[in-house]
Amino acid sequence: MTRVASVAVVVACAIAFWQVLVWATGVPPFILPGPGRVATALWEARALLAQHFVVTAAEVLAGIALGSVLGALTAVQLVAAPRLGRAVMPLLVFTQAVPVFALAPLLTLWLGYGVWSKIAMTLLIIYFPVASAFLDGLGRTDPGLLDLARTMGAGRGRTLLFLRLPAALPAFASGLRLAAVYAPIGAVIGEWVGASQGLGYLMLLANGRAKTDLMFAALIVLALMTVALHAGVGALGRRLDAYAAGRREAV
């Protein structure tokens, strides 16, 4: 059975279980709508869902791009300046003791109800995982290759650029895979705190009006976006892994 067929079977079983649960419990639709009601809401509100999807997707993609670049630059800087790394890394770890979600109201207060507070929230969520994963990869370069580079007279800059960075690409890819999963969470939390657009805002609006089927529809769109994002980042990660493997074979 192919991977797509396996996923289809799992999804079909989950929908069947969902429908049986609704029938067996007799739960009111405003508490738990059946799959049919949610599918109807998806179709009837497709334009509204698409409008809010574009906003959330833009926030997520911008947050991933900025957070990944900032995290990668931080990791490279900490490796290039070991003393700075020893001083800054404990501070970065300490910042994770503060729940990022608790910063959402402050970000909304400082940056407003527009997209920037949501982009900042997404950035903060993925910054540390990307930086930490890439830094770990940069620090795990084969010692034998490092000795060979020193023997051949390569300076720290050339060793970092041509040896450490390519070797750390699989670790960077792992950080990106985590970012793809966490980024939508940051955007939606930001929209819950304060927004006038986005899937998170639409979910709150539907919940306040007891339109549970629309809330489920928005949740499904968000889940599909996260799966698609993870698949796209996974494809990029496989390319980075292949490139790193090719560089190792070349060496």
* Domain edges within the chain: 36-250
Confidence of residue 250 (pLDDT cuts 50, 70, 90): low
Kindly state the helix (H) or strand (E) to which residue 95 belongs, with its residue range: helix 82-95
What pLDDT sits at residue 10? 86
- Say what percent of the chain tops pLDDT 70: 95
**Cβ atoms < 10 Å from Cβ of 187:** 31
* Residue 160 identity: L
Whether the per-residue pLDDT at 1 is higher than 60: the answer is: no
Under a CB-based contact definition with an 8 Å cutoff, are residues 219 and 33 in contact? no
Rounded to 5°, the CA angle 153-159-161 comes to 140
- Domain 36-250 is classified in which CATH homologous superfamily? MetI-like (1.10.3720.10)
Identify the pLDDT of residue 73. Answer: 93
Nearest-angstrom CA–CA distance, 90 and 78: 12
Contact (CB, 8 A) for 171 and 136: yes
Residue for token pair 């700075």: 84
Highest mean pLDDT among 48-52, 75-79, 81-85, 137-141: 48-52
What distances in angstroms separate CA 87 from CA 81, 126, 129, one per listed residue? 10, 22, 19
Q: What single-letter DSSP state applies at residue 160?
A: I
pLDDT band at 241 (very low <50, low <70, confident <90, very high): confident
Q: State how far the Cα of 27 lies from the Cα of 22, in Å rounded to an integer.
A: 6
Q: Residue 155's pLDDT band (boundaries 50, 70, 90)?
A: confident
